[in-house]
Structure 1
Amino acid sequence: MTKRKLTIEDLSKLVSVTQPTLAPNQQEAVFVQTKINDKDNTYQANLWHVDLNTMKLTQWTHGKEKISSPSYSLDGTQLAFLSTREEKNQLYILSTKGGEARKVTSYEKGVSSFLWSPCGKKIWFLASVKEGKNFTDEPEKEEKKNPEPYVVNKMKYKLDGAGLLPQGTYKHIGVIDLETEEVTQFTQGNHVYDLQAISHNGEKMVFSVNRSENQDFEFRQSLFLVDIKSKEEKTIIEEDGYFGGVAFSFDDTKLAFVGSDSAFKNATHTELYVYDLETGARQILTEGIDAPVGDYVVADSQQGADAPSVVWTQDNHIYFQLSTMGDVRLYVATLEGEMYPATGDNEHIYGYDVAKSGEFALVTVSNSTEIGELYVQTIATGERQALTSFNESFEHEVELVQPEAIMFQGAKDWAVHGWLMKPAGYVEGQKYPLIVEIHGGPHAMFANTFFHELQLLAAQGYGVLYINPRGSHGYSQQFVDAVRGDYGGGDYEDIMAAVDSVLADNDWIDENRLGVTGGSYGGFMTNWIVGHSNRFKAAVTQRSISNWVSFFGVSDIGYYFNEWQIGADMTDVEKLWNHSPLKYAQHIETPLLILHSEKDFRCPIEQAEQLYITLKQMKKETGFVRFPDADHNLSRTGHPNLRYARLEQITGWFKKYL
């Protein structure tokens, strides 16, 4: 059977399987299935149930909303989840025997997260509270108000995806009695809390909070162990960096959590920590592994992938994800510090849960040509059985290209890793254009995972080269840190060396038809490349940085990101300008298409406007497309119609010039 080529619209045929959650009886589980709803131009995520003995699948919810965070009560009779059924994420309870879900919260800003109390009669939750108010206060009636000024008095006042942050509003922890629906607020004050974990005996809680008055130059969220009855607090960790994902061991004597200190700012590897409640001793179990704990993959197909940071088994083994050499693998650690991979290579484990006995795990798995399904895996043997096959017919119908892993010498003779895809329908002896894709971050990574955009370019007759240059995660601490202070240096050399390497080894590539594209840091690097080399015949820059001087003041992270990454602030404008692609605009001869979201607060659209007007004024070949009602995450979670339009712009530009 001749397979058809992948299309832009096929994005709507991809089914995302995420958040596998085992029931307490270990005989059944639930997961979330997400699809694009073209009719409403939205995503719909519904709850599915699987019987692990019969493998029977049952869809439990059928709405157009997005459901997330499914969690069983300890006795397995109830399932709680968050749903956008009424716009904001609210908490719902569903009997596992069937029936309609019951809504148990109605907060103006919704509920951020929740945890069951072990008794099954209460649920702890996290939600926003206005200053001077309480969870129990009646919500104010919504009245049409005249526009009011927004008084800015701190530097962290806006956030990509959220816009201007609500003033005088704080995140607090509350508890709701499911029988009486009575709510009690547990935390107080003008602070932002995060609910982390509840002990199995229901007596202890872990939350994170930073109680400093001015947090503009503070990058920490300390972890505290709290006695629920007395509210007495004990510090678990209080230092610069980010720590969370806490889980109690089954006997409540230890905590596991993940975190990274500030040694290399946001390039620091995340580690797995264990804290002994009795002695207060803290150890890093992953100290001997030179790779980061967690999932750092950039892709565009897994919607709502939200894996636990750690999962304990009853025999005190701890499971976690590790990003290494383009894989995300499930690893297991013992308290003695032994470390083993529980899954194989060449794949992306983007969700998991582990049986209490440690005998088996549920894993959601993707690779370069498989979109992602749910499997049950026997830990001892590695044997797997598929529980879902939502994408199977699509994968049989469409020609998908298997990338070839490559390794080459980059700057300073460091080994650099990546992949090369031949065009779909490749014919020996023919010449093909090549497009270089550059990921964002820069502390993220391309991986052995399904990426619709890369497959689309291959389907349109292009070879595709994508690598993890220095600065990427999944490799050593030295490697991920090497980009800081050197943007446009060794990273640029790595990418150009990759092009030289594949040209030398693959005579099917037409060296006169090379294209380059990337977003965020990848957009910065696209801008940098065309300002320093004329070997590319077409380029598309997306959500990019063009001017570090203005980025400092307009980005939601600029005032500290510049210093962390470029090594300069406004006292060293010359260094910021030297690393700015805009400085080299006069050298750009490559036709450059500029794509940018209007609500991007991470790399604000003025970065694109400056570049476009400068190039136009210099009579350069350029185009500019603005995406309304879209933020920095347009390519991953933006409105479906805008995602299609973005891909049309990219492929249209390359078709015109390559």
Structure 2
Amino acid sequence: MAHPEPGAPSGPLTPADLAALRSVTDPQVSRDGLLRACVVQGPAPERGEPARSAIWLARGDEPAAPVTSGAGADQAPRISPSGRFLAFASDREQPGLWRLYIAPLDAHGTNEPWKIDAVPGVVEDIVWAADESGLVVLTADEGSDAGNIRGGTRFVPPEEAGASFLVRRPATVRRRVHWVRLPSGTVRQVSPDDRTVWEIGWAGQGPLAAVVSADPTESGWYDAELATIDLADATAKIVYTPSWQLQSPAVSPDGRSIAFLEAPQSDRALLAGSLTILDLDTGTVTRPEHEADLTRVRWTADGRLFWVGVASVETACGFFRPAETGWQLDQRWRGLGTLGRTYLTAATCSLDGTTIVAGFQAHNEPPELRQLGQRSGEPPHWRALTSLNTALAGRAKVRESVHKWKSSDGVEIEGILLLPESGYETPLPLVVVPHGGPTNATTSVFAAGAHRGDGILLAQAGCAVLLPNPRGSTGRGREFMAANLGDMGGGDLRDLESGVDSLAAAGIADPARAGIVGISYGGFMSAWAAACSDRFAAAIPISGITDWLSFHHTSNLGRFDEIYLDGTPYDPSGPYLDRSPVFHAAKCRTPTLLLHGDADLACPVTQAQEFYQALAAVGCETEFVTYKGAGHGMTEREHVLDVAERILGWFSRHLGFPVPGSTP
């Protein structure tokens, strides 16, 4: 476990500490493995300030250092095949609108980057040609929704920001692929106008793989297909139509195969599922066996496939290698830690497969860019390349363990249990934290909880905190992750209730003092449990869903509820009303605090408004806090601190425990 540097603060973590946490995303490695890059996200910004991020680079054995600086958020670092250039996206000129930049790399850092002005739209991904003659760039038209991964907001055009009214029309914005020739910077669109491109994969030559749909809205992703795009003649050909959703297309070095992932998934970019390899010459499909649910794959020069994924509450990475008897699995690392961010498991390797890097974090180990190493006779270990958050390491006065229990139907459920470090008497007040999705998983992270570490703060305050992976979670195969399709709020709620019962039976938790808090789908589960379960004495839905019917007509994810409720919103006897907390509010007596951003396009703020008014009408104790300008989750420092304080205060009052530092 990492420890703070001498002289660093050593007290328990505070909301201000967690707001100051810097995260590590989008790890990248040069072909020879000598350059390793990542995006370092800054602390929660002050009110009215845009988010900041910079690209950091580690050279050889030197520690990583920033190679971009200044205003704005820099992202999508892509090291050129020769290692001489860095392409990236930045919103330094117009906050919230990312443009293409290229910077030369030298031994002393980076010279001033130059902007490629001719690329239209907002840059979302970049791939270098193998000979560095150009770049393939994926962009979103201005006005497109950014998606949940970017806060559930929109890429607002400058002319719209000050407009007095907004006109919306269907199918007017798309995501497109462009070829940028270097060094001239001339740009040519290579994707067809009648298809939206959600994700791309390219070997630097030959065909481009793309996840495409005719529907350009966020709902279109749920029915996307796999296509190849010919960059020379700008044509697309559908090569695979999936049963579920797609992610991480990767073209083999010889251009003859595409590897990709397929599984049921509730959120774009967060898919974890099974590997499929498509032979483009014959159309043959191969599905190698593996235990973990994979989140990303990439080819190496010798024909292996690097993979990273979720394995219950753990994460893992390794390679598939071709053999006479089929693809053989080589697991390089697996453990109780997270490669990547919460819900966004990610790692990558060099083209020769010798260098593996990830943003790594775990309980009491804050995020850092790390490289996987292994000494002779010792297990693999993650060597830190950055020291971004060392002042926070080891300061959570909390113990972590894996908790397993049997649900009401005998299915084994797993989760992570946080307990105060020492000096407590059982039974403890308990807070259950269902994850978002629902097709995601709780793994071991530094800032555990529903919203920026509230689980750590609650455990430090004397609570037991259970972060469960109920049915519908990833990490245990397709059957388990599809187990709540058509049954949201059914078996998964019973899994949570049985988790409370198991901790009560073990003498750890007081069943009369149990609360529930969650964000997004976890927000739905918190509202649903408040209305439909007798296990919880207090609830806090954050950015959640309370009315599936109005959600379908106001969210940008209307296709999601059709798939996961397995019904139609136009059937009054169907699941849309039956599984909506607002239609069960009359029987709710659970004190419920609703926290929601007013700019959330995925789960609009009206979801919280409906439930609040329904609870108030029947005399249930409730409060509703709206965060101005916040999307799907709160990011401004003032908001982050307020959310943490309200969660601690609400549960302190209703579960009966003191908050450290508060006035009695």
Asked whether the two chains share a fold, i.e. TM above 0.5, the reply is yes
Alignment of 1:420-459 (within 5 A): 420-424=417-421, 426-429=422-425, 432-450=428-446, 451=448, 452-459=453-460
- 1:198 corresponds to 2:207: no
C-alpha contact 1:423 1:464 (8 A) present in aligned 2: no
C-alpha contact 2:259 2:297 (8 A) present in aligned 1: yes
Distance 1:574 1:243 in 2: 28
Shift of 1:224: 2.8
Alignment of 1:248-263 (within 5 A): 248-260=251-263
1:526 match:
526
Residue deviations 1:2-24 (CA, integer Å, cap 9, x gap): 94121111123312223222223
Shift of 1:405: 0.9
C-alpha contact 1:268 1:477 (8 A) present in aligned 2: no
Structure 1 counterpart SS, 2:594: strand
1:134 match:
none
C-alpha contact 1:359 1:378 (8 A) present in aligned 2: no
Distance 1:554 1:72 in 2: 40
Alignment of 1:235-634 (within 5 A): 235-260=238-263, 270-285=273-288, 288-289=289-290, 291-294=292-295, 309-335=296-322, 336-350=326-340, 351-378=346-373, 382-396=380-394, 398-424=395-421, 426-429=422-425, 432-450=428-446, 451=448, 452-507=453-508, 509-558=509-558, 561-562=561-562, 564-565=564-565, 567-573=567-573, 575-634=575-634
Shift of 1:624: 1.1
Distance 1:266 1:532 in 2: 31
How many pairs does the alignment contain?
612
Distance 2:11 2:516 in 1: 26
Distance 1:266 1:107 in 2: 23
Letter in 2 for 1:627: Y
Q: Which of these two proteins has the greater Rg computed from alpha carbons?
A: 1
Shift of 1:227: 3.8
C-alpha contact 2:519 2:633 (8 A) present in aligned 1: no
Change (3 A) 1:482 1:93: same
Residue deviations 1:131-180 (CA, integer Å, cap 9, x gap): 9xxxxxxxx9959986566355x5xxxxxxxxxxxx53333322223322
| RMSD of aligned residue pairs (Cα, Å) | 3.2
Distance 1:526 1:179 in 2: 54
Which residue of 37, 47, 59 maps to 1:51?
Answer: 59
Structure 2 counterpart SS, 1:473: coil
Distance 2:115 2:270 in 1: 41
- 1:90 corresponds to 2:99: yes
1:117 match:
129
Residue deviations 1:240-287 (CA, integer Å, cap 9, x gap): 543342223334343322233799x999962222233443423222xx
Distance 2:543 2:412 in 1: 29
1:303 match:
none
Distance 1:358 1:42 in 2: 37
C-alpha contact 2:246 2:263 (8 A) present in aligned 1: yes
Letter in 2 for 1:607: Q
Change (3 A) 1:368 1:617: same
C-alpha contact 1:527 1:546 (8 A) present in aligned 2: yes
Alignment of 1:26-105 (within 5 A): 26-36=33-43, 38-39=45-46, 41-52=49-60, 54-87=61-94, 88-97=97-106, 98-105=110-117
Change (3 A) 1:628 1:108: farther
Distance 2:217 2:420 in 1: 53
1:300 match:
none
Shift of 1:407: 0.8
C-alpha contact 2:488 2:564 (8 A) present in aligned 1: no
Distance 2:34 2:219 in 1: 48
C-alpha contact 2:364 2:396 (8 A) present in aligned 1: no
Structure 1 counterpart SS, 2:347: strand
Change (3 A) 1:561 1:318: same
Runs of 4+ in 1 over 6 A off after TM superposition: 143-146, 212-218, 265-269
Residue deviations 1:596-634 (CA, integer Å, cap 9, x gap): 222223222222222212222222211111112122233
Structure 2 counterpart SS, 1:399: coil
Change (3 A) 1:217 1:128: closer
Distance 2:514 2:497 in 1: 12
Change (3 A) 1:81 1:503: same
Structure 2 counterpart SS, 1:36: coil
C-alpha contact 1:94 1:101 (8 A) present in aligned 2: yes
Shift of 1:563: 5.1
Distance 2:30 2:473 in 1: 37
Could you tell me the TM-score, scaled by structure 2's length?
Answer: 0.84
Structure 1 counterpart SS, 2:91: strand
Moved more, 318-327 or 107-116: 107-116
* Structure 2: segments with no counterpart, 5+ residues: 1-5, 144-156, 341-345, 656-664
Shift of 1:212: 7.4
* Structure 1: segments with no counterpart, 5+ residues: 132-139, 155-166, 295-308
Alignment of 1:225-240 (within 5 A): 225-231=228-234, 234-240=237-243
Moved more, 568-577 or 595-604: 568-577
Moved more, 202-211 or 83-92: 202-211
Q: Percent identity?
A: 25
Residue deviations 1:217-251 (CA, integer Å, cap 9, x gap): 89433333344335565543134543342223334
- 1:183 corresponds to 2:170: no
Could you tell me the TM-score, scaled by structure 1's length?
Answer: 0.84
Structure 2 counterpart SS, 1:610: helix
Change (3 A) 1:144 1:460: closer
Structure 1 counterpart SS, 2:301: coil
Distance 2:580 2:234 in 1: 51
Change (3 A) 1:470 1:267: farther
C-alpha contact 2:85 2:103 (8 A) present in aligned 1: yes
Which residue of 167, 170, 175 maps to 1:150?
Answer: 167
C-alpha contact 1:41 1:640 (8 A) present in aligned 2: no
C-alpha contact 2:484 2:564 (8 A) present in aligned 1: no
Distance 1:79 1:512 in 2: 57
C-alpha contact 1:534 1:588 (8 A) present in aligned 2: no
Change (3 A) 1:267 1:86: closer
